[in-house]
Structure 1
Amino acid sequence: MNKGELIDQIAANANVTKKDADAVLSATLEVILDTVAAGEKVTLVGFGTFEARDRQAREGRNPSTGKPIQIPATRVPAFSAGKVFKEKVVEKA
């Protein structure tokens, strides 16, 4: 499902126009992005948690040469699925 299809589903389920659904989805995603970028968590109970996680510096290998290289520490976005989300996915499997 892409963003357009998601907007169609939201509009149908919430009985709102596609324009309104797009505005709400875009605003929601923007708030989540800004909050996580600021280093805070966004928790939607039952759905999951969006957060930034710090990865430690580590040693890796250059795939072309096989020589060791140092991979610097970095911050990455992460999502942890909530209980209801996990149960729904398992139920459909």
Structure 2
Amino acid sequence: MDSGGTLTRADLADALHREVGLSRTDSSKMVEDILDHMCDALTKGENVKISGFGSFILRDKGERVGRNPKTGVEVPIAPRRVLTFRASQMMRERIVAGS
């Protein structure tokens, strides 16, 4: 992982290359294929659960009234679909133990 604190696709591909021994090209393709598969499932309205890591969950939010903080004028906020992530219990425990 780079020193900036962000894990990138390149970092994942590099880890596959080092840990599994796949070529750099195959490692990059595998990372892209996995991410594409996850995106396709989410686009179809399916949730994505990765055991021991967490779940990407789609939620439909209804229309509601919001307020412009600058002017105070109420404006309708259209219904929309949002993506949330919920870490697994195992992941939460690892994060707490690492801090």
- Tell me if TM exceeds 0.5: yes
Stretches of 4+ aligned residues off by more than 3 angstroms = none
Match of 2:51 among 45, 53, 56: 45
SS in 1 for 2:26: helix
Alpha-carbon distance between aligned partners in 1 of 2:79 and 2:87, rounded to the nearest angstrom: 25
Alpha-carbon distance between aligned partners in 2 of 1:11 and 1:84, rounded to the nearest angstrom: 26
Alpha-carbon distance between aligned partners in 2 of 1:14 and 1:31, rounded to the nearest angstrom: 21
Alpha-carbon distance between aligned partners in 1 of 2:48 and 2:83, rounded to the nearest angstrom: 12
Identity %: 30
Q: CA deviation at 1:24?
A: 0.8
2:63 aligned with 1:57, yes or no?
A: yes
Hey, what does 2:34 align to over in structure 1? 28
Is 1:37–1:52's contact at 8 Å kept on the other side of the alignment?
A: no
Q: CA deviation at 1:36?
A: 1.0
Structure 1 unmatched ranges of 5 or more: none
Is 1:32–1:50's contact at 8 Å kept on the other side of the alignment?
A: no
Alpha-carbon distance between aligned partners in 2 of 1:51 and 1:11, rounded to the nearest angstrom: 30
Alpha-carbon distance between aligned partners in 2 of 1:10 and 1:85, rounded to the nearest angstrom: 20
Query: Could you tell me the TM-score, scaled by structure 1's length?
Result: 0.88
Hey, what does 2:24 align to over in structure 1? 18
Alpha-carbon distance between aligned partners in 2 of 1:47 and 1:37, rounded to the nearest angstrom: 21
Query: Could you tell me the TM-score, scaled by structure 2's length?
Result: 0.84
Moved more, 30-39 or 77-86: 77-86
